[in-house]
Amino acid sequence: MDKILIHEVGMRDGLQMEHESVPTEKKVIWIKKLLESGVDIIQIGSFVHPKYVPQMADTDELFRYFKQPENRPANIILSGLVLNEKGLERGLACGVDMFCMGVSASETHSQKNTRMSIDEALARIIEMAKMAQAEGKSIQASVQSAFGCGFEGIVPANNVLRIVDAYLEAGIKHISLADTAGHANPIYVENLFSAILEKDDEIECTCHFHNTFGMAMANCFAAWRTGVVAFEASFAGLGGCPYTAVAGGNVCSEDLVHMFQQMNQRKEIDIDPLISVAKEAELFFSREMPGMVYKTGAISDQLSSDTKAN
Which residues carry out catalysis?
A: 241
Cα distance between residue 69 and residue 158, in whole Å: 44
DSSP letter string, 225-279: HHT--EEEEBGGG----TTSSS--PBPBHHHHHHHHHHTTSSTTS-HHHHHHHHH
Dihedral sign for Cα atoms in the order 182, 186, 190, 192: negative
Pairing type for strands 41-47 and 174-179 reads unpaired
Identity of the residue numbered 109: H
User: DSSP state, 289?
Assistant: -
Nearest one of 145, 142, 130 to 85, comparing CA atoms: 130
CA 28 to chain CA centroid, nearest Å: 19
Residues 6+ apart with CB under 8 A from 230: 4, 5, 6, 7, 40, 41, 176, 204, 205, 206, 207
Write a three-state SS string for 207-239: EEEECCCCCHHHHHHHHHHHCCCEEEEEHHHCC
